[in-house]
Chain A
Amino acid sequence: MGDFLLLLTGSINPYYLQIIVNIGIGIILALGLNVITGLTGQLSLGHAAFMSIGAFTSALLTIKLGMPFFANLVLTGFITAGVAALIGLPILRLTGDYLAICTLGFAEIVKVVFLNLDITNKALGLTVPSAITAVPMPIVVWLVVLLTIICVTFIHSSRFGRALMAVRGDEIAAEAMGINVTLYKVQSFAIGAFLAGVGGGLYAHFMGYINPSDFGFLKSVDILSMIVLGGLGSITGSVIGASILSAAPEFLRFMASYRMLVYGGLLVCMMIFRPNGLMGGINFTSLVLRTLGRKPHLKTIMEQKTAETSGPCNGDT
């Protein structure tokens, strides 16, 4: 099996393979930021900092400790989430623009610290040995992507996810519904950072070289554009947005120096014609179900039990 997969990934042009992996990592990062910004409504301009922390943590775990790759990834995720929770506790009291500036500052601090630490090899960056895995790296990346999509989908449609959306909608009303707003904000921050950390770890091991400057402000904005382009709060949107924006710079390469011009123009057009993002305001699940001619699960449940309800809250008009 492993050999077959190796053959499969080996048969793909390495250049395309790299684009495919970049798309995968982009999706993981975008889904993470989508939990923070799309679902919980906390604007973060420093998502690349968590990717950076993840990348360096993961690289150092491999270099210094020789940790097995999967344990390494999981530990990296938890460490990044821990850092996010620590930094989140004080700064998540802020809202809107103020929070954005704060996360921006945090990202710069992370960058500067990594540029000056001996253990991260200062501005020279780290060379990361390739990971020893049972299946080739691109497959690992896309398995993680799949797992991420499933987990994030579960979060969206759960009691936990509803609480996050309540925080996004109205913090005072959310509190009045018994939701511990601060706790949920910190948790959402930690989840987003966990995914960014894992994405960073994958990035470090696939690229083989990381430099603190790779994870600067532009990278954060890139990730933010992905979820805004796809539609804030939409999982499908994040996946599509990340795919387009990760691949676009490469596919537009034939235009040489006009490349970034067209890229920028694309973004402007998207925002004019679909201001809420590509998938903004579209419920993907019910869209698929409707195309298949089926009713959403919830609707069925609601209709089923209307006849037989009874309870303290039951009115009779």
Chain B
Amino acid sequence: MAILELKNVTIRFGGLVAVNDVNLTVEKGTIQALIGPNGAGKSTLFNLITGIYRPTSGSIHFKDRSVSGTPTFKIAAAGIGRTFQNIRLFTDLTVLDNILIGAHSRGRWNLTGALMKFTPWVRKEEGKLLNLAKECLQMVDLSYRAFELAGNLPYGEQRRLEIARALALQPDLLLLDEPAAGMNPQEKAELMAMVQRIRATGITVFLVEHDMKFVMGISDRIAVLDYGEKIAEGAPDEIRKNPKVIEAYLGKGAADAHD
């Protein structure tokens, strides 16, 4: 069953067609990767899915409901969590607060709740959110950092914290934008295990990544984007041999040599 479906999605910025007529489905419970050379439109596609951009034409369906044109915060609350290519943490807040903000849409109490802080209903909800936060911190092995400022964490841990924050949303679909960027091999191996663990809890993972070893090792399916167009889609082995993909990455000569 498809959890996310993109139908003929196109977005133009002035004369530039950043994403051109892309059709893509993400099956529930899988790890799907999106790869492509720099500037292929991968992050733009993520921004389209999360509603930061609105498609010029085409439609995006999440859990069989159209989300094109829906504001970002509603799409998030509907169950799409994401991380960002350049980390966007709340650096002046603690790790725990970051996660609790991620859990925002799992709570209800607003200003009235704030003013009735010590009533049992509000306390119960805070307790619930705290428990959720704690589970997410354990998921990424950051419990021991809970009370440190997010900005003081080393790079690799900041990346993990971003994933934990997205998990606190209790998403059905998790979008990871270059999660392995800047990580050393050991951290990458840990991250791979972590992503698999996340999938094991029933969350569908859709990720953009440049590291081929990482992508090939973890994905069930891979889609390839080049100049805003989808040029291939399939299992890792198929993608590895696909001449169009090789051409996009290494040039025409390399594709011919491979044949």
Distance of A133 from chain B, by nearest CB (Å): 24
Smallest distance from the beta carbon of B137 to chain A beta carbons, Å?
9
The reply on B136 being an interface residue by CB < 8 A is: yes
Chain B residues within 8 Å of A191, by CB: 111
Stretch of B14-22, B82-90, B221-229, B249-257 lying at the A interface: B82-90
Q: Count of A-B contacts with CB under 8 A?
A: 146
The interface-forming segment of A86-94, A95-103, A160-168, A244-252 is: A160-168
Tell me whether B3 is interfacial, beta carbon within 8 Å: no
Instruction: Give the Cβ gap from B167 to chain A, nearest Cβ, in Å.
Output: 6
B73 touches A178 (CB 8 A): yes
Instruction: Point out the residue from B91, B93, B131 that lies within 8 Å of A309, measured CB to CB.
Output: B131
Tell me the smallest distance from the CB of A38 to a CB of chain B, in Å: 12
Q: Does B114 contact A (CB under 8 A)?
A: yes
Tell me which of A160, A174, A309, A314 contacts B109 (CB under 8 A): A160
Contact, CB under 8 Å: A162 / B77: no
Chain A residues positioned under 8 Å from B50 (CB to CB): 176
User: Cβ of A177 and Cβ of B169 under 8 Å apart?
Assistant: yes
A187 adjacent to chain B (CB < 8 Å): yes
Query: With A154-B115, A165-B90, A178-B77 in contact, is A159–B202 under 8 Å at CB?
Result: no
Q: Residue A117 at the B interface, CB < 8 A?
A: no
- The answer on a CB contact under 8 Å between B90 and A169 is yes
Interface size on B (CB < 8 Å)? 59
Complex CA distance for A302 and B131, rounded to whole angstroms: 8
Is there a chain A Cβ closer than 8 Å to B8's Cβ? no
B102: CB under 8 A from chain A?
yes
B97 to A: closest C-beta gap in Å? 6
C-alpha gap A160/B115 in the complex (Å): 10
B88/A172 in contact, CB under 8 A: yes
Interface contact B100-A162, CB-CB below 8 Å: yes
Interface residue? A214 (CB, 8 A): no
> Cβ of A305: which chain B residues have Cβ within 8 Å of it?
130-131, 134
Chain A residues near B219 (CB-CB < 8 A): none
- Determine whether the beta carbon of B91 is less than 8 Å from that of A169: yes
Within 8 A of A (CB), among B117-156: 117, 122, 125-127, 129-132, 134-136, 138-141, 143, 146-147
Residues of B close to A255: CB separation below 8 A: none
Tell whether, in the assembled complex, residue A180 and residue B73 are in contact, meaning their CB atoms are under 8 Å apart: yes
Determine if A311 and B84 form an interchain contact, defined as CB atoms under 8 angstroms apart: no
Contact status of A162 and B101, CB under 8 A, knowing A173-B90, A178-B169: yes
> Is residue A115 contacting chain B, with contact meaning CB distance below 8 A?
no
Known: A179-B104, A180-B73. Is A159-B201 also a contact (CB below 8 A)? no
Nearest CB to that of A312 among chain B residues?
A: B201
B-contact bits for A141-155, CB 8 A (1 contact / 0 none) = 000000000010011
Nearest B residue to A296 by beta-carbon distance?
B147
Q: With A and B bound together, what is the CA distance between A169 and B138 in angstroms?
A: 24
A298 to B170, CA, bound (A): 22
A301 with B107: CB separation less than 8 A: no
Residues on B with beta carbons closer than 8 Å to the beta carbon of A173: 84, 88-90
Once A158-B109, A309-B134, A314-B135 are accepted as A-B contacts, the answer to whether A166 and B114 lie under 8 Å apart by CB is: no
Chain A residues lying within 8 Å of B117, measured Cβ to Cβ, are 154, 157-158
The answer to whether A13 has its CB under 8 Å from any CB of chain B is no
Q: Check A298–B93 contact: CB distance below 8 A.
A: no
- B96 cross-chain contacts in A, Cβ below 8 A: 298, 302
The residue that B111 contacts in the complex, of A160, A166, A169, with Cβ under 8 A, is: A160
17 contacts between A and B (CB under 8 A): A159-B113, A159-B129, A160-B114, A161-B114, A162-B93, A163-B101, A165-B101, A175-B52, A176-B73, A176-B76, A179-B104, A302-B134, A305-B130, A305-B134, A312-B201, A312-B202, A314-B138
Given contacts A159-B109, A177-B169, A181-B73, 12 further A-B contacts (CB under 8 A): A158-B114, A159-B104, A159-B114, A166-B101, A170-B90, A175-B73, A176-B52, A177-B105, A311-B131, A311-B135, A312-B202, A317-B141
